[in-house]
Amino acid sequence: MSDKRPRRTFAVISHPDAGKSTLTEALALHARVINQAGAVHGKGDRRATVSDWMAMEKARGISITSAALQFVYRDHVVNLVDTPGHSDFSEDTYRVLSAVDSAVMLVDAGKGLEPQTLKLFRVCALRGIPVITVINKWDRPGLSPLGLMDEIEQQIKLRPTPLTWPVGEAGDFRGVLDRRTGEFVKYTRTAGGATRAPERRMAADEVEEADTAVWADAVDEHELLSLDDKDHDQERFLAGETTPVMFASALQNFGVAQLLDLLLELAPGPSATTGVDGSVREVEDAFSAFVFKVQSGMNSSHRDRLAYARVVSGTFERGMIVTHASTGRPFATKFAQAMFGRETTSVEQASPGDIIGLVNAQALRVGDTIYEGERIDYPPVPSFAPEHFMTANAADIGRYKQFRKGIEQLDQEGVVQVLRSDLRGDQSPVLAAVGPLQFEVVEERMKNEFNSPIRLSRLEYGVARRTDAAGVQALAGKRGVEVLQRTDGAYLALFIDKWRAQTTVRENPDVLLEELPAGG
Ligand code: G4P
């Protein structure tokens, strides 16, 4: 029997330190996956340096950046897909957003919108993923709530439509005004926020004396917001025009249950998905899924390879034989896992919206489709604007064959993007990445898995724009720009910084110099 409970599959997008781990723990606590906050993510792990990350990955045999936390809340199955951040920010961080139906944008009340949040938001906007905004750390002094709304509207061009409004300024968090019912949701602090924070709902005329002044301010601002067309509108939210906003303190567990309720109520569930040829797969059709992340080299002796796939339609049953769309070959799913952090469990069954980890998935690449029944092939996961560039050379020239094979394999897996030009020659390709950790992974795997240690040297570029064959001609020999070709055929023009890119655009109005998705 397949599991028919509705799904909500989402990711939290935020800048390091905004409170993503704290919120994840709090969500799990509310959903009763675990009993004590802190069990999902060890603090030590989150603070790990890059080198620890590699070592930890090896020691555990699984990736600490992996996959999805699944829990049940009010008879819904909620999948929280992890977005690697911090020091392990990489192309994967962007790619996981192709596996979710909505995103929670977590903003530090004291800092407002920060660079990594903005980058991730752009990917959501590009993919039409509806975004719920959570202003976190309201228990600490921070910016004004109206100021934060202006910032959201100006910087990300979404109309903020607060569902709750803080009662008490940042640092004096008494609770929130539920803008849809007009009630006061009063919070009571608990020690360390380790247990579910009690909330008391009361009508406006029940607000206690001590809170009346701050309550009156909240009511005034709430009315102002309504006059300014900032009330929630479900259609506009789903169309990606507005973002519902709520105020919270993940640390104190304030607003966490509200967020879960909102996800169930407002966020979209899995829906029909269109393949490259235009054919549509409804969620209840035969099984299909696409791979959004591939992890390998975790155990060099086994050449293991784990592919994370999001179920798009039908029911996945462990052991089923599916078809790999790009080769037409059968793929056996004898080993399927669900993992988050260090937990690994075997998946017997999965429904649309769920994330499965497929072991021994040598043939599967990022963007690949697997299916049962009628053929379906989902569009590829896009590549994102790289911001870090290195040239790679075989440290031992006698191992050039291994070098070429390794680079090719890592390119196919999407570990880094590989760029080439006639000028640079094949011996010395340029590796391009979204986050510097990607290079560390390449170095490690080239040495241990492909037996070809490499030498990397940094290139002073920081911005890539897409151009075309005509652009290659026009830009040849120009100062401050180098054009290279990516393996997928795309031409990328590299610049030192965005000012240099803008100058080149101005000086060459006829040359295509298009921004790539999520360019910084
Ligand atoms: P991240 O995963 O997004 O990087 O953030 P994380 O949850 O690790 O939180 C970063 C810091 O912010 C932590 O403090 C955490 O306790 C704190 N924090 C998270 N949510 C809230 C909140 O709602 N209110 C307040 N006041 N603080 C919050 P830290 O000093 O780095 O760690 P710790 O010493 O508190 O453990």
Write the pLDDT tens digit of every residue in 143-153: 999 999 999 99
pLDDT-above-70 percentage for the chain: 86
The partner residues of 136 in beta bridges, in order of sequence, read 108
What would you report as the CA-atom Rg of the chain, rounded to the nearest whole angstrom? 24
In total, the chain counts a number of residues equal to 520
Distances (CA, A) of 324 to 294, 371, 373, 414: 15, 7, 12, 18
CA 35 to chain centre: 26
Confidence of residue 298 (pLDDT cuts 50, 70, 90): low
Is residue 445 within 8 A of residue 297, CB to CB? The reply is yes
Whether 116 lines ligand 1, by a CB cut-off of 6 Å, is no
Q: How far is the CA of 116 from the centre of ligand 1 (A)?
A: 17
Beta-carbon contacts of 372 under 8 Å, excluding residues fewer than 6 positions away, are 286, 287, 288, 314, 320, 322, 323
Task: Output the six-digit token pair for 371.
Answer: 């299916």
- ipTM more than 0.95? yes
CATH of the domain at 353: 3.40.50.300
Q: Select, from the ranges 77-91, 209-223, 247-261, the one with the highest average predicted confidence (pLDDT).
A: 209-223
Kindly state whether residue 57 falls inside one of the protein's structural domains.
no
Whether 250 lines ligand 1, by a CB cut-off of 6 Å, is yes
Residue 50 region, left (φ>0) first, then alpha (ψ -120 to 50), else beta?
Answer: alpha
Kindly state whether residue 85 falls inside one of the protein's structural domains.
yes
Distances (CA, A) of 399 to 189, 262, 421: 62, 56, 22
Q: How far is the CA of 265 from the centre of ligand 1 (A)?
A: 27
Whether 230 lines ligand 1, by a CB cut-off of 6 Å, is no
Atom of ligand 1 nearest to the CA of 248: 23
Among the candidates 245, 266, 287, a domain finishes at: 266
Write the pLDDT tens digit of every residue in 469-486: 999 999 998 888 999 999
Which range is least confidently modeled, 28-42, 298-312, 377-391? Answer: 28-42
Q: Indicate whether 205 and 278 sit together in one domain.
A: no
CA triple 230-235-240, angle to 5 deg: 75
Which burial class, exposed, middle or buried, applies to 423 when counting CB atoms under 10 A from its CB (0-12, 13-18, 19+)?
Answer: exposed
pLDDT at 415: 87
Kindly state whether residue 48 falls inside one of the protein's structural domains.
no
Q: How far is the CA of 173 from the centre of ligand 1 (A)?
A: 17
Best probe residue, ligand 1, of 17, 106, 176 (max atoms within 8 Å of C-beta):
17
Atom of ligand 1 nearest to the CA of 18: 3
Q: What is 211-239 written as a DSSP string? A: GHHHHHHHHHHHHHHHHTT-S--HHHHHT
Kindly state whether residue 75 falls inside one of the protein's structural domains.
yes
As a whole number of angstroms, the distance between CA 465 and CA 458 comes to: 19
Domain that holds residue 399: 388-515
Whether pLDDT at 414 is above 90: no
Side chain identity at residue 113, one-letter code: L
Whether pLDDT at 252 is above 60: yes
Q: Indicate whether 126 and 262 sit together in one domain.
A: yes
Whether pLDDT at 297 is above 60: no
pLDDT at 24: 86
Q: Judging by DSSP bridges, how do beta strands 336-340 and 68-73 pair with one another? A: unpaired
Q: Indicate whether 163 and 252 sit together in one domain.
A: yes
Q: Indicate whether 285 and 200 sit together in one domain.
A: no
Q: Indicate whether 257 and 282 sit together in one domain.
A: no
Atom of ligand 1 nearest to the CA of 14: 3
pLDDT at 381: 84
As a whole number of angstroms, the distance between CA 30 and CA 246 comes to: 17
Which residue shows structure tokens 């269109």? Answer: 274
pLDDT at 272: 96
Kindly state whether residue 378 falls inside one of the protein's structural domains.
no
Whether pLDDT at 191 is above 70: no
Kindly state whether residue 380 falls inside one of the protein's structural domains.
no
Side chain identity at residue 399, one-letter code: R
Q: Which helix (H) or strand (E) holds 401?
A: helix 400-413
Q: How far is the CA of 366 from the centre of ligand 1 (A)?
A: 33
Beta-carbon contacts of 487 under 8 Å, excluding residues fewer than 6 positions away, are 411, 417, 418, 420
Q: Indicate whether 341 and 461 sit together in one domain.
A: no
Average pLDDT value for residue range 158-187: 96
Is residue 106 within 8 A of residue 10, CB to CB? The reply is no
Q: Judging by DSSP bridges, how do beta strands 454-458 and 159-162 pair with one another? A: unpaired
Q: Indicate whether 117 and 198 sit together in one domain.
A: yes
Residue ranges for the known binding site for GTP are 82-86
Kindly state whether residue 427 falls inside one of the protein's structural domains.
yes
Q: What is the number of domains present in the chain?
A: 3
For the chain, count helices (H), then strands (E). 13, 31
Q: How far is the CA of 137 from the centre of ligand 1 (A)?
A: 8
Q: What's the mean pLDDT when you consider all of the chain?
A: 86
Is residue 220 within 8 A of residue 166, CB to CB? The reply is no
Whether pLDDT at 178 is above 80: yes
Confidence of residue 102 (pLDDT cuts 50, 70, 90): very high
Q: Indicate whether 292 and 409 sit together in one domain.
A: no
Among the candidates 345, 371, 397, a domain finishes at: 371
CATH of the domain at 397: 3.30.70.3280
Query: Is residue 48 helix, strand or coil?
Result: coil
Q: Indicate whether 302 and 195 sit together in one domain.
A: no
Q: Which residues of 205-243 are buried (b: 16+ CB within 10 A; e: fewer)?
A: eebeeebeebbebbbebbeebeeeebbbeeebbeebebb
Kindly state whether residue 45 falls inside one of the protein's structural domains.
no
Q: Indicate whether 329 and 348 sit together in one domain.
A: yes
Which burial class, exposed, middle or buried, applies to 43 when counting CB atoms under 10 A from its CB (0-12, 13-18, 19+)?
Answer: exposed
pLDDT at 34: 31
Which burial class, exposed, middle or buried, applies to 394 when counting CB atoms under 10 A from its CB (0-12, 13-18, 19+)?
Answer: buried
Residue ranges for the known binding site are 82-86
As a whole number of angstroms, the distance between CA 356 and CA 291 comes to: 9
Beta-carbon-side half-sphere exposure of residue 106 (alpha carbons within 13 Å): 25
Q: Indicate whether 333 and 411 sit together in one domain.
A: no
Q: Indicate whether 356 and 409 sit together in one domain.
A: no
Confidence of residue 41 (pLDDT cuts 50, 70, 90): very low
Nearest CA to ligand 1 atom 16: 251
Among the candidates 266, 286, 310, a domain finishes at: 266
Is residue 248 within 8 A of residue 258, CB to CB? The reply is yes
Write the pLDDT tens digit of every residue in 425-459: 889 999 999 988 889 889 988 998 899 999 999 99
pLDDT at 336: 62
Report CA torsion sign: 292, 297, 298, 304: positive
Q: Please tell me what DSSP assigns to residue 497.
A: S
pLDDT at 248: 95
